[in-house]
């Protein structure tokens, strides 16, 4: 059980198991990530091929319109194939294609999917 003691102006102390402790310092997250939004969208769609753009946007942390642009980019480049099933779209990731950047072009999309989805 954790409960807060009266906060002093300089620090808040916590009591855990009867022992007073200072709260752990939480470093703020840096504003960058190792993967691009294109990669994040591709990974979300690979995991859930029938995902709605709204759901992908929420997971990635971007707007629905941005997801639509990214999906269009990925379709034009051949990394996604779309089929219409009733009122929904279903996507297939072309995991056999190479990654785009010269540094990782020697690897296939499958390697990225395997790395992140394990």
Q: Which domains does the chain have, with CATH numbers?
A: 37-117 (1.10.10.10)
pLDDT tier at 25, thresholds 50, 70, 90: confident
pLDDT tier at 108, thresholds 50, 70, 90: very high
57-94 tens-digit pLDDT: 999 999 999 999 999 999 999 999 999 989 899 999 99
Task: Tell me: pLDDT of 10 over 50.
Answer: no
Evaluated on CA atoms 93, 97, 103, 104, the torsion sign reads positive
Give the residue among 26, 28, 56 at the shortest CA–CA distance from 42: 56
Length of the chain: 118
What is the rounded average pLDDT of the residues 104-118? 93
- Cα 61 to Cα 72: distance, rounded to the nearest angstrom: 18
């Amino acid at each position: 059980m954790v409960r807060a003691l009266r906060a002093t102006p300089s620090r808040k102390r916590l009591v855990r198991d009867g022992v007073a402790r200072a709260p752990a310092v939480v470093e703020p997250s840096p504003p960058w990530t190792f993967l691009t939004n294109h990669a994040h969208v591709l990974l979300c769609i690979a995991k859930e091929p029938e995902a709605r753009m709204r759901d992908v946007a929420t997971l990635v942390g971007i707007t629905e319109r941005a997801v639509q642009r990214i999906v269009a980019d990925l379709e034009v480049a051949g990394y996604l194939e779309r089929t219409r099933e009733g009122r929904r779209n279903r996507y297939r990731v072309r995991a056999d294609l190479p990654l785009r950047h010269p540094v990782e072009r020697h690897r296939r999309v499958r390697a990225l999917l395997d790395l992140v989805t394990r």
